[in-house]
Amino acid sequence: MNGERLVTAAAGESGPSAAGMTADGTAETPAAVPGAGMVADSGGAAGPQSRTTDIVPGPGGVMTDEVGVVTGDLTLRTEYADGKVTVRVQYKDADEWYAVTGTSVTLADPAGLDAVHGVAVGLLNRPEG
């Protein structure tokens, strides 16, 4: 058969060999999975979302677009809106937020927000110096 393989599936069988199809060639009925496709905040999958974490940056602080370097106890917020992610910091419990220099970038999938926030925290939180 020129390198081709024939894959068959018994009626009702699913898995890698059935590839989601039944023996008569129709697609299987999808199983209900509670919570699948849901996001934690009310903005929905494409709406505005954010994550926040308190951090203590290393000796060099965090460079911001608005005020330059900020140091000390900070709160870091990673925001997703309109297909972009931006990382901001504020002095802990202050009102003003400052954009972390170089952190406003396109994010194709809002599901990546947690990963981006985790990387930002990992890079900027240096309580031991």
> In Å, how far are 28, 52, 110, 118 from 121, measured between CA atoms?
42, 9, 18, 5
Confidence class of residue 1 from pLDDT cuts 50, 70 and 90?
Answer: very low
Q: What is the pLDDT of residues 35-53, one digit of tens each?
A: 333 334 434 455 689 999 9
Q: What's the pLDDT score for residue 17?
A: 41
Alpha-carbon gap, residue 129 to 125, rounded angstroms: 9
Is the per-residue pLDDT at 101 higher than 50? yes
Residue 38 CA to residue 42 CA, distance in Å, equals 10
The burial of 100, by beta-carbon neighbours within 10 Å (0-12 exposed, 13-18 middle, 19 or more buried), is given as: buried
51 bridge partner residues: 78
For the entire predicted model, the pTM comes to 0.64
